[in-house]
Structure 1
Amino acid sequence: MAPPRRKDAGFRTIRRRSLLAGGAALGVLGATGCSRVSSADAKDGGNLLERLRSQGTVRLGIAGEIPFGYIDKDGEFTGEAPEIAKVVFKRLGVARVQPVPTEFASLIPGLRSQQFDVVSAGMYINPERCRQVVFADPDYRMRDAFIVAKGNPKNLHTYEDIVRTGAKMASGTAYAEIGYAVNAGVKESEIAVLPDQLAGLLAVEQGRVDVFAGTTVTVHNVVKQTGSRKAEATEPFQPMVDGKPDIGAGAFAFRPEDTNLRDAFNGELRKLKKSGELLRIVRPFGFTENEMTDLTAEELCKP
Structure 2
Amino acid sequence: MSLKLTGTLTLALLAGLASGSLSAKEWKTIRIGTEGAYAPFNFIDANGQVQGFDIEIGKALCAQLQAQCEFITQDWDGIIPALQAGKYDVILASMFITEERKKQVAFTDPYYKAAMTFVAPKEADVQDISPAALAGKVIGAQAGTTQAEYLTQLYGKSDVRLYPTQEAVNLDLASGRLDLQMGDALPLLMWTRTTDDGKCCQTVGEMVTDPKYVGDGVGMAVRLSDDDLRQQLNQALAAIIADGTYQKINAQYFPINIYTMK
Same fold (TM over 0.5): yes
Q: Deviations over 1:99-149 (max 9, x none)?
A: 122233433333334322222222222334334432211112221222222
Counterpart residue number, 2:249: 281
Q: Deviations over 1:231-277 (max 9, x none)?
A: 2234760254xxx7532422112233432232122112123334554
- The code of the aligned residue for 1:270 comes to A
In the alignment, is the contact (CA less than 8 A) between 1:88 and 1:265 conserved in 2?
yes
Q: Deviations over 1:132-172 (max 9, x none)?
A: 4322111122212222222551324xx41x52265623212
- The code of the aligned residue for 2:184 comes to T
User: How many residue pairs align between the two structures?
Assistant: 237
1:171 aligns with 2:140: yes
- The code of the aligned residue for 2:47 comes to D
- The code of the aligned residue for 1:278 comes to Y
| Alpha-carbon distance in 2 for matches of 1:193, 1:110 | 21
1:155 aligns with 2:123: no
Counterpart residue number, 1:73: 46
| Alpha-carbon distance in 2 for matches of 1:212, 1:185 | 12
Matches within 5 A, 1:1-303: 46-49=24-27, 52=28, 57-67=29-39, 68-94=41-67, 96-150=68-122, 153-156=125-128, 159-160=129-130, 163-164=132-133, 166=135, 168-174=137-143, 175-188=145-158, 190-223=159-192, 224-234=194-204, 237-240=207-210, 246-248=213-215, 249-274=217-242, 277-286=245-254, 288-289=256-257, 291-292=258-259
| Alpha-carbon distance in 1 for matches of 2:46, 2:229 | 32
- The code of the aligned residue for 1:47 comes to K
In the alignment, is the contact (CA less than 8 A) between 1:111 and 1:255 conserved in 2?
yes
Greater displacement, 190-199 / 135-144: 190-199
Counterpart residue number, 1:27: none
Q: CA deviation at 1:196?
A: 4.3
In the alignment, is the contact (CA less than 8 A) between 1:147 and 1:213 conserved in 2?
yes
Change (3 A) 1:238 1:261: same
SS of equivalent residue, structure 2 residue 132: helix
Q: CA deviation at 1:86?
A: 0.4
TM-score by length of 1: 0.65
- The code of the aligned residue for 2:97 comes to I
SS of equivalent residue, structure 1 residue 155: coil
Give the share of equivalent positions with the same residue, in percent. Answer: 23
SS of equivalent residue, structure 2 residue 113: strand
TM-score by length of 2: 0.73
| Alpha-carbon distance in 1 for matches of 2:107, 2:184 | 21
In the alignment, is the contact (CA less than 8 A) between 1:141 and 1:247 conserved in 2?
no
- The code of the aligned residue for 2:147 comes to E
| Alpha-carbon distance in 2 for matches of 1:272, 1:132 | 27
- Ranges in structure 2 where 5+ consecutive residues have no aligned partner: 1-20
In the alignment, is the contact (CA less than 8 A) between 1:169 and 1:210 conserved in 2?
yes
Counterpart residue number, 1:298: none
